[in-house]
A and B are shown apart, each in its own frame.
Chain A
Amino acid sequence: MLIPTQIEQKLDRVLLKVSKPGRYVGGEVNVTVKDWDKTPMRVALAFPDVYDIGISNVGLQILYDQVNDRPDALAERAYAPWVDMEAVMREEGIPLYSLESFHPVRDFDILGFTLPYETLFTNALNMLDLAGIPVRTVERTMEHPLVIAGGHSTMNPEPMHAFIDAFVIGEGEEVIHDIIDAVKKIKMSLRTRREVGSEAISSLEDADCFATNRAARNDLLLALAQIPGVYVPSLYRVEYLDDGTIAEVSPLVAEAPKKVIKRLVAKLPPPPTKFIVPNIEAVHNRVSVEIMRGCTRGCRFCQAGMIVRPVRERPVAEVVAAAEAAVKATGAEELALLSLSSSDYTNILELVTAVGEKFSGQHLSVSLPSLRIESVSIDLMEKIKSRRTGGFTLAPEAASERMRRIINKFIPDEDIINTAREIYARGWVTLKLYFMIGHPSETLEDVQAIADLCKRVLHEGRKVAGNRIKLNVGVSTFIPKPQTPFQWVACDTPEKIRAKQVLLRQEMRDKNIKLTLTSIEDSLLEAWLTRGDRRMAEVIYSAWKSGAKFDAWNDQHHFDAWYAAFNEHGLDPDFYTYRQRRTDEIFPWDHISAAVRKEFLFQDFRQSLEGQIRIDCRQHCFACGILPTFTSVRRENPGDHWKCPEVKSPARKPVEALPVL
């Protein structure tokens, strides 16, 4: 393996051959570069997409700070090189390296992938390969970094089970430390053992060393499996029924829990403020503060809403202080206050007032995504924005009463029209509306309703603001995600989606409407990957081998490779997408739990079939599973920063202390 100075020298000679070389050289403000030799635990954090996208990922920044705050560990970053750079690296023999110190990623103790969405899977394989790390977990030894992964897509980790040694299920802030500790313990004992036995080197001892290595890796995997929220797939066996669905998933060893329950942080830790400032243009040129985690609305299609429970808020003062610190540390020109549903933040008015006052006149643009469709939202936006640039975004998702009931997002037409009219009247030129099509019970009439609603919005807008107004309509395609009430539902067929998209295009021909649709193939690929079982791993492997990568990019399509891969392994892609699930089906992800009970999800699914609305669970707890799973956590963390009811009952006494009757 090359050493850092060799890598830097080689880079110097080749970087001008590639586009955007600034992606590959680091040197940003706010990076942490620790002494490699004096830091025992080295963690490489990888985002498997190009730098300009990965640099804006907050999850990676959080972990970067968590690890670097430990005196015994360092964290450095790696992103996926774009195709031109990859070719140069392979040609020149440059391995995947870290941007802080130019060490090969292979030299780290842990390699952690952030996998927020499934279309990054092939890139993760490609990065392993570029790093010179065996792509398959079975081929790795203690000489390789431990490969871990986390992020929303790992709520169904099975399609990636063959490539990742251990998955983090849920929130990573605390569990990353447990993992580092476990790796450190094993590595330290290995090092002492090696020092003791290093007098003579014979082939016999090599074999011995190999055995020690194997044993150490086994010990490590067993130790990891016992950490709450860590899933070690190699310790489980999956059996299938004749129809290809799952018969049983069972742990192979006592150390592996039958169900891996997600980790969560009881109280949100202070948010990152020392954001790494890219020297080149990134997709999001902004810093952000997460004001709240989770959402209580219960929209049935939304995976985040189901898996990020419970809702936890940060106090206003903490958000404002963090925003100020982040802007000061980065010099950013844009600040985003992030959450799944800003309007639901308890003290939202107080927060936007404080932020508006703090930054007025500082040429900072503040954004507040995910606002409810009501005129109060316009007041909020006016408070934080001095100018009406960038457009106003609302997400009605559906336009017919029937669909609104099915998806559990019920916003009456009148509310949408009134809010839209008000937005135009108060001076915004552009309104963006987001909808979703493709639920299998959706008809063409339901889709027509979307077009009708948009035309009405435009008509009303013109009345108050004239012909200069713009309406951007984004229509995405529904994908039934794991761990949601729709996990039993099939995908709409491409023919039906196409017909719906054609209808939308025909109906929304207006020079003031800009319609954006998701490509049918993109949705298909996401559906396979998100709903896949362990057998999908071979499909991913073969597709990657025949060139699939950057699957999230519209210009990098490799669908032939994907279909060929399904074929090669005798799997039917339609099995994963167009099949309504049996009510008693065992899903590939059932042994992974977001602490929301399957029975709860099923009940919600049944209610959706009956068109029944479930109200915000802040008003009425539906016992989704969070509270029973985290009873003691909630008991120890009372107060209204959690939006679940408090647990009043005293902790149950240990069983042996109960009087014998």
Chain B
Amino acid sequence: MSRRIRITFAKTGPLRYIGHLDLHKLWERASRRAGVSLAYSQGFHPQPKIQLASALPLGFSSRCEVADLWVEDEPNPNLQNELQTALPSGIVIQNMLEVEERGPALQTQVVASEFEVTLLEEVDAEALTRRLSAVLEAATLPRERRGKTYDLRPLIESLAFSASPAPSLHMRLTAREGATGRPEEVLAELGIAIEDTRIERTELIFI
């Protein structure tokens, strides 16, 4: 029977520019480099059993990504070190623990994400606060994305501005299947260009 290892990791630097599928591959290869035997699915095209909690948009860094790896090996107290050495420098393991092997899929456990948006261009704090309130007070925020209209407002759980140490926005957006708030949509609503920001996911909220 395989064991299910839950890894919380930071994704920074050049690794911000790799997507969800590439991240899957990255864990697969890092495991092989580290000598970790992953469990594989059955069938004609066996795939390594890896789950990632929630896709992170390209360009965002994160301190709190979560991956589940199913491994065939005996418990190994050195596993974190061995895996870390095999990872590219932009992936840093924060912690690791064994979880219930047959528990529900990781993706179904996430309910919300928190983001910190650093504003790189000078901002008029007062004007921004006014726009923030307008967004929060709106009953609905109809927006269009990829040809579909949807309401952004219910996806925003919280939104705040802080002027120091660096001007930044803090937001908590829902992240359920079919109801995922995207920080760049909130920024667009606030009239802030994404190129003028640096976005980091700071927390994943689980059920």
Interface of A toward B, CB cutoff 8 Å: 12-17, 21-22, 24-29, 277, 279-281, 285, 327-333, 363, 387, 389
Contacts and interface: CB of A to CB of B under 8 A. Distances in A.
A12 to B, nearest CB: 8
A331 B32 contact: yes
A15 B17 CA distance: 8
B124 to A, nearest CB: 21
A52 to B, nearest CB: 11
B30 A363 contact: no
A333 B38 CA distance: 12
A27 B22 contact: no
26 contacts: A12-B198, A13-B120, A14-B195, A15-B59, A16-B58, A16-B194, A22-B22, A24-B17, A27-B13, A27-B14, A27-B89, A27-B90, A28-B88, A29-B29, A29-B30, A277-B88, A279-B18, A281-B22, A281-B25, A330-B29, A330-B33, A331-B29, A331-B30, A333-B28, A363-B48, A387-B44
A279 B26 contact: yes
B17 A281 contact: no
Contacts of B25: 281, 285
Given A16-B194, A280-B19, A285-B25, 16 more contacts: A14-B195, A16-B59, A22-B17, A25-B13, A29-B29, A277-B29, A277-B88, A279-B88, A280-B22, A281-B21, A281-B22, A331-B28, A331-B30, A331-B31, A331-B33, A332-B29
Interface string B16-52: 0111011001101111110100001000111010000
B205 interface: no
B32 A279 contact: no
Kindly name the residue among B14, B40, B58 whose own CB sees the greatest number of chain A CB atoms within 10 A: B14
Contacts of B32: 327, 331-333
A12 B195 CA distance: 8
Contact of A328 (B13, B14, B33, B44): B33
B15 A279 contact: yes
B88 A27 contact: yes
Nearest to A23: B17
B122 to A, nearest CB: 15
Contact of B40 (A24, A28, A363): A363
A22 B19 CA distance: 9
A331 B87 CA distance: 11
Contact of A25 (B17, B44, B46): B17
Interface string B77-114: 00000000011111000000000000000000000000
A457 B40 CA distance: 36
A17 B195 contact: yes
Contacts of A280: 18-19, 22
B15 to A, nearest CB: 6
Interface hub of B15, B45, B59, B88 (most chain A Cβ within 10 A): B88
Contact of B14 (A17, A279, A332): A279
A333 B29 contact: yes
B87 to A, nearest CB: 8
Which of B18, B86, B198 lies at the interface centre, i.e. has the most chain A CB atoms within 10 A of its CB? B18
Interface in B1-23: 13-15, 17-19, 21-22
A279 B35 CA distance: 19
Contacts of B19: 22, 280
7 cross-chain pairs, A with B, having the tightest CB-CB distances, nearest first:
A27-B14, A331-B29, A331-B32, A25-B14, A331-B33, A21-B17, A22-B17
Contact of A329 (B14, B21, B31, B33): B33
Contacts of B21: 281
Contacts of A24: 17
Contacts of B58: 16, 21
Contacts of A25: 13-14, 17
A281 B17 CA distance: 12
Contacts of B26: 279
A277 B120 CA distance: 33
B198 to A, nearest CB: 8
Contacts of B48: 363
A13 B195 contact: yes
Nearest to A21: B17
A277 B58 CA distance: 19
A285 B90 CA distance: 21
Interface in B145-196: 194-195
A505 B177 CA distance: 47
Given A15-B59, A281-B22, A363-B46, A26 B14 contact: yes
Contact of A29 (B18, B28, B33, B35): B33
A254 B26 CA distance: 55
Among A12, A328, A331: residue with most chain B CB under 10 A: A331
B117 to A, nearest CB: 14
A281 B22 CA distance: 7
A29 B18 CA distance: 14
A15 B77 CA distance: 39
Contact of A21 (B44, B59, B195): B59
A141 B173 CA distance: 57
Contact of B15 (A17, A27, A331, A389): A27
A26 B13 CA distance: 10
A16 B184 CA distance: 12
A103 B70 CA distance: 41
Contact of B22 (A14, A29, A279): A279
A17 B26 CA distance: 24
Contact of A389 (B13, B30, B45): B45
Contact of B18 (A22, A328, A330, A389): A22
Contacts of A26: 14
A17 to B, nearest CB: 7
B40 A29 contact: no
A24 to B, nearest CB: 8
Nearest to A363: B40
Nearest to A329: B33
Contacts of B17: 15, 21-22, 24-25
Nearest to A99: B14
Nearest to A364: B32
- Identify the interface centre among A17, A277, A279, A333: most chain B CB within 10 Å of its CB: A279
A72 B14 CA distance: 28
Nearest to A281: B22
Contacts of A17: 195
Contacts of A330: 29, 33
Contacts of B18: 22, 279-280
Contacts of B88: 27-29, 277, 279
A399 to B, nearest CB: 33
B9 to A, nearest CB: 14
Contacts of A389: 44-45
Contacts of A277: 29, 88
B26 to A, nearest CB: 6
A16 B33 CA distance: 30
Nearest to B88: A29
Contacts of B194: 16
Contacts of A332: 29, 32
Nearest to A327: B32
Given A21-B17, A280-B22, A281-B22, A331 B86 contact: yes
Nearest to B59: A16
Contacts of B46: 363
Q: Which of A24, A27, A333 has the most CB of B within 10 A?
A: A27
A342 B69 CA distance: 37
B195 A16 contact: yes
Contacts of B13: 25, 27
